[in-house]
Structure 1
Amino acid sequence: METSSRFEAAIKKLYTAFHNNTLNPECCKQCAVGNILDNTDSWKYLSDDHGNLSLNYVGKVHQTLGRKFNGYSPLELLQIEATFLKACGFQIPLNHTNKRPENPTDNDILFNGLSATISLLCEIDNIPNVMDYQKLFKYKKTTFDYIVH
């Protein structure tokens, strides 16, 4: 399967962050998009709230100009982050009154977030979902004829 360089780079960064325990949904530099963008938080200026799917003025300008950040448009970045946060159990946008998991850096929670994020990255790049494990369990139904003596 052929993938884009942005997809490969994003997956590598997310995988590394997960295994190095440097993935944190509540930190703009260590969340899904923060890691994809080399642990920078400049992307947070594209919307008014962490996890918000609406571009603010700055985000709209970058989107209109066709700007890409490590290959992703501002709208794609917001969609990636929102997907990650929701799959981790957060109510978005993040704020002190919205629902959040008890331990947001628990590996099971982060794995759920990564799985959803990787599925979205596949969808954005129009490639088969690499997280779809159901294909591993597909089988061909066969019938057996039993001979009764």
Structure 2
Amino acid sequence: MTRTPEEAVRGLWRTLSARDYDGIADWVTDDCIYLDMPVGPALAARGPADIAKRLQVGWGGLSAYENHDGLLLSDADGNVMYEHTETWSFPTGEVFTLAFVTVHRVRDGRVCLWKDYWDYGAIMNNAPASWVEGLATADTSWVYDATDEV
């Protein structure tokens, strides 16, 4: 099946909104690099399994997560910019919505590069202390240094 870059990005984010970690492999390439730009390319993840592990560090302890669609722009080379928001709900009652701009590169109908841009301070100022403290002991087997690749 051939997908447009826009279909690949929207499909990936529908899968993410459902927190369907196994389904990520349907939307990203085996060599896809995912990174959060506020923390840099030295803490990237590569490939569907490690991307899923990386996402579970942030979302695993949430009671609810929802992606909200926004503006999506693409070019003829498969580059897609997606402005969207995410609502994070914690079991301790905190809820906040975080603004994102995500840059994707799509190859053969699947995302091969995914860079998230967001406000680091917004998470640190709104997440409960227990979530922030949990980052120190989180699984980091997924860490891939993409410094020379992005």
State the TM-score, normalized to the length of structure 1: 0.33
Which one has a larger percent strand, Structure 1 or Structure 2?
2
Q: In proportion to residue count, which structure has more helix?
A: 1
Structure of greater relative contact order (alpha carbons < 8 Å, 6+ residues apart): 2
Give 1 or 2 for the bigger CA radius of gyration: 1
